[in-house]
Amino acid sequence: MTDDPGSHLDALCAAHELTDQPDATFRALDAAVSASVGHILFTVLVHHPGLRQSERRYTNQPAAYPVGGRKPVTDTPWMDQVIRCGEPYIGRTREDIAAVFYDHELIASLGCESVLNVPVRWRAETLGTVNLLHRAGWYEESHVPVVRRLAQLALPALMLVTRR
What pLDDT sits at residue 3?
Answer: 59
Looking at residue 4, its pLDDT comes to 61
Q: Residue 110 gets which letter from DSSP?
A: T
* Residue 1 binned pLDDT confidence (cut-offs 50, 70, 90): very low
**Which segments of 49-100 are extended strands (E)?**
53-59, 70-72, 89-91
Read off the DSSP letter of residue 140.
-
Mean pLDDT in residue range 104-118: 97
Which of 110, 155, 149 has the alpha carbon at shortest distance from 133? 110
What 3-state DSSP class applies to 48?
strand
pTM above 0.85, yes or no: yes
pLDDT at 150 over 50: yes
Which of the pair, 17 or 3, is modelled with greater confidence? Answer: 17
**Structural domains of the chain ordered from first start:** 5-162 (3.30.450.40)
d(CA 107, CA 114): 9
What contacts 151, CB < 8 A, 6 or more positions away?
Answer: 29, 33, 118, 120, 130
Name the E strands within 14-124.
41-48, 53-59, 70-72, 89-91, 114-122
The pLDDT > 90 percentage for the chain reads 82
